Amino acid sequence: MVHEIRESDRARRLGITVHPDGRVVLTKPKRISIRAAEAFLAKHQEWIETAIEKFRKRVEKKRIDQILLPRPRKNSTAYKEARKTARALVTERLTHFNELYRFTYGTISIRDQKTRWGSCSAKGNLSFNYRIVYLPKELQDYIIVHELCHTREHNHGSKFWDQVARAVPNHALLKRELRTRYR
């Protein structure tokens, strides 16, 4: 087992920290010898291995659960096609949902956003990430309804979520799925 020993003026006793990347750091007061610190580490070997295994399983589960969406090179044929498809999808679904809401909105833009699925400006202009086309239909609809409702409520207060729930009653589950599974 690879480990690091740190000496601290402020430490009162020996302490072991296991980091998510598998590093093990033993912090020791100056007055305690390296030999005593190594013995302490050996005594807690089973606990250390258990902690490392927990981190490994957590990372493995995260990898299995997360879905990496395609990210075609900018200006490639696949990228241009995805943007074109996204525009058609968003336009069609906005028209569909706005039959229920009857909200007014400005322009629709399709962008390559790194961290957002959509946004709504103060003027009611709607912007969507082109990668929306790679999501399941229920997540696409959630994002579109979410941004459409921002044309009326420019916050995430209870009135906003009440509006979203009119068309997407399970919005909380979809929001969680979007945040945890899709990158």
CA–CA dist 134, 97 (Å, integer): 20
pLDDT tens per residue across span 148-164: 999 999 999 999 999 99
Q: Residue 182: its pLDDT value, please?
A: 86
CA–CA dist 34, 23 (Å, integer): 18
Show the domains of the chain with their CATH numbers: 4-65 (no CATH), 77-181 (3.30.2010.10)
Q: Residue 63: its pLDDT value, please?
A: 59
Q: Residue 2: its pLDDT value, please?
A: 60
Give every residue of the chain whose pLDDT is below 50, as ranges.
none
Burial 98-127 (b: 16+ CB within 10 A, else e): beebebebeeeebeeeeeebbbbeeebebb
**pTM for this model (two decimals):** 0.67
CA–CA dist 44, 11 (Å, integer): 18
Q: Residue 58: its pLDDT value, please?
A: 80
Q: Residue 151: its pLDDT value, please?
A: 97
Q: Name every residue whose Cβ is closer than 8 Å to that of residue 180 and which is 6 or more positions away in sequence.
A: 65, 66
